[in-house]
């Protein structure tokens, strides 16, 4: 089954404690991205990756890092989390098809930073 797998689903952490949210896709997609969802703001792109070792900032990259060492994995790293990074995070994997672009989302990671 084609899917995007995020872990963990829920995470509560303290300010300043480094954490990583993992994302893996089994569709051999080149393009992957991270979004955060906040009430009244919709989803905003944090970082994206066009392919292995190719990453770039999205709209709200401050406080985040990513890496793309292999095609299937695209972890989101918070080196020093702060309470304003409390949010719902989604990883997405994207493919271009004849009929347009297909986006597949993970189930989400709800992060609370206290």
Partner 1 sequence: GNSVTQMEGPVTLSEEAFLTINCTYTATGYPSLFWYVQYPGEGLQLLLKATKADDKGSNKGFEATYRKETTSFHLEKGSVQVSDSAVYFCARGAQGGSEKLVFGKGTKLTVNP
Interface residues with partner 1 (CB under 8 A) are: 31, 33, 35, 40-45, 48, 50, 58, 90, 92, 94, 96, 99-101, 103, 105-108
Pick from 2, 11, 22, 8: which is nearest to 111 by CA?
A: 11
CB closer to partner 1 out of 50 and 77 = 50
CB nearer partner 1, residue 26 or residue 82: 26
Residue linked to tokens 């994995």: 73
Count CA atoms within 13 Å of residue 112 on its CB side.
4
Nearer to partner 1, 29 or 113 (CB): 29
Distance CA 111, CA 103 (A): 23
Min. distance of Cβ 48 from partner 1 in angstroms?
7
Residue 94 C-beta: closest distance to partner 1, Å: 5
Q: How far is the CB of 15 from partner 1 (least distance, A)?
A: 26
Measured from the CB atom, the residue of 24 and 33 that comes closer to partner 1 is 33
Tokens of 40: 């009244």
Backbone phi and psi for residue 75, each to the nearest 5 degrees, phi listed first: -75, 150
Q: Tokens 């080149």 — which residue?
A: 30
């Amino acid at each position: 089954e084609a899917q995007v797998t995020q872990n963990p689903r829920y995470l509560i952490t303290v300010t300043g404690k480094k954490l990583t949210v993992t994302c893996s896709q089994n569709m051999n997609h080149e393009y992957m991205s991270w979004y955060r969802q906040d009430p009244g703001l919709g989803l905003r792109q944090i970082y994206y990756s066009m392919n292995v070792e190719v990453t770039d900032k999205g709209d709200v990259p401050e406080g985040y890092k990513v890496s793309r060492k292999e095609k299937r994995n695209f972890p989101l790293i918070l080196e020093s989390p702060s309470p304003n990074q409390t949010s719902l995070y989604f990883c997405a994997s994207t493919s271009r098809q004849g009929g347009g672009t297909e986006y597949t989302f993970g189930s989400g990671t709800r992060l609370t930073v206290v």
